[in-house]
Amino acid sequence: MAFVERVAERAEAVQHHPDILIRYSRVTLSLSTHDAGGITEKDFEFAAASDAIAAELGAK
């Protein structure tokens, strides 16, 4: 849950809110920029930040 909390904090900070699916020990983030109608650089930046959070927490 620490990962989800950190991602949620980041999402609030940058005003970019992913869809978060939690299934037992797996978390899936779905990213898109709805007002742009697809994936933008903002989504790639958020994905990279999320990867960094996972690495900090030692996620597998």
Residue 25 contacts by C-beta under 8 Å, 6 or more apart in sequence? Answer: none
Q: How many domains is the chain built from? A: 1
The helix/strand/coil state of 16 is coil
Query: What are 8-55's pLDDT values in tens digits?
Result: 999 999 999 899 999 998 999 999 887 888 899 999 999 999 999 999
- Place 60 in a pLDDT band, splitting at 50, 70 and 90: low
Q: Which residues contact 5 (CB under 8 A, 6 or more apart)?
A: none
Which CATH number does the domain housing residue 47 bear? 3.30.1360.20
Amino acid (one-letter) located at 53: I
Q: Which residue type does 41 have?
A: E
pLDDT in tens, 3-21: 999 999 999 999 998 999 9
Range of the domain at 49: 2-56
Contacts of residue 7, defined as CB under 8 A and 6 or more positions apart, other chains included, come to 18, 20, 27, 29, 50, 53
